[in-house]
Amino acid sequence: MYRLEAASDDIYMASRAVLEGDMSSAMGLLTRALDSWQRSSDQAKLKLYLAACYSFSGKDGLNQAGSLLTEAKRHDPFIVSSPLYGAMSALLAAYYQQKQEDTIIRILKLPDHNDPLAACIQLYALHLVKAYRVVLRYSAKLLKRCEMQPFYWRFLWWQAKAHQGLKHFDLAARDLEKAIELAPQLSLVELGLEHAQVLIKLGELSHALSRLEAIEQKLILDKTENSENDKYQRLLSAKAEARLGNASKALWLLKALEQEHFESELLHFELRLELARNARELMQPSQAKNYYQETLKLAKILLEPKEKFELNYEYHQLLLESGHPDDLLAAYNYLEELLSANDYEVDSPEPEYVGRIYLDFAKASYRLGQLSEAGYYAEAALEQGFVFEAALCLAQIAQDYYDLNLALDYYQMALSSTAREMPAYGLCHALIADTLVKQGYHHAERIFMHAEQGLECLAGHPLANIWQPLLSQYLLKAREQMSGATRLLN
């Protein structure tokens, strides 16, 4: 095995700094050491470890790492027997070729070793080619090694990333929570931000906000306000508030962030996307459309093909909602094209999109007055598990056919499928009250109860502007009917 010699102390300290998340210290230490140690073998080792540091800095860093690895081999050809060199070669092959099978074979062929940095680089290479199940197997193996114990948190972090790639967000949250308990102070902010992001995806919004508040306090104590991590913390807070239905608070946070400069293009993209979603939630379609068009331009260079599809789909959902005839027709044609594409048939590997397309095509058909087509696709979406929105669509169709009892059944189905704290819960109560009123005030107690719940749940939401006058009127009328009935009984 290749042994460290003269520069070993500097390398050991730099390796520890990398594993603890202190990249700037590690790079500074190695760069200074390059001036101190002139032997070819020392230069080779230092450049190898410097390449490892650069590899964690995105695409530019990986390109720099490739150059340093070549220089290291030129200084000392025997360095190729180092576990870290083998891991770095596998990582760079994964980056340049993006071949999953080749990367897995390269890593499985590497000799067994006890180098935690090399192990992390191997996990990184597997993650880069989306070999998430292999990451889980390899990290589980590393977590059983006592000599690796100080770096368990690093392996748990990679394990959490693999779970996210497989959309096992509950398992990712569990691993991140364990990693936070074991990690050094320097890495707590990044781990905490990733944990908050996963909690938002799980819908555990109060837990996410608690985590983000703790991160905010740490950023203040560390005097790193206005750093990229601070901006990301505020962006995630806005996301959590938006998903809790606090659209106005989310907008305030987002507008403050809009004035900031972002070094990260991806973070800038995420901000524009959240502004688009917020404008959509606040029923500002023209603003939302502008923001979405900005994000679609950025997406061309930042996102994977599947992510681009998802963003483009979201944009067409906005067109569907905008109410403008040209936008509606564009959305209808886009969805019709997707329905005819083989990639999104029922036996698709991603069936969640099948139901989504059925549902949105039902909405587009309904708005174009094609009720039978709308009903067919809404039923299909219901079968695919899109209960809330499909039931609302079917209720509207039933109302158009003057079948108010059937409409009430569908509204009740939608109500049963949504969480009490969400604005949709209040909307269902409002729609039930409205439908009962259309039948006459024969059930004044039910009208009163649903109107009251609707007003309470929609308070502070943009939908309240539409529903508050109507529901208040229904409450008064229902109260009169109930008082009249009581007097009659007396």
Which pLDDT tens digit goes with each residue over 430-485? 999 999 999 888 888 999 999 999 999 888 887 888 899 999 999 899 888 887 65
pLDDT at 1: 36
Torsion of CA 343, 344, 350, 353, to 10 degrees: 140
What pTM was computed for the model? Answer: 0.74
24 within 8 A of 57, measured Cβ to Cβ: no
Contacts (Cβ under 8 Å, ≥6 apart) of 93: 99, 102, 103, 106, 125
The distance between the two most distant Cα atoms of the chain, rounded to a whole number of Å, is 105
CA distances from 331 to 313, 325, 372 (A): 9, 10, 19
Q: Does 321 or 163 have the greater pLDDT score?
A: 163
Average pLDDT over residues 415-425: 85
pLDDT in tens, 240-281: 999 888 888 999 999 999 888 888 888 899 999 999 999 988
Measured from the Cβ of residue 244, the count of other Cβ atoms closer than 10 Å reads 18
CA–CA distance, 27 with 290 (Å, rounded to integer): 42
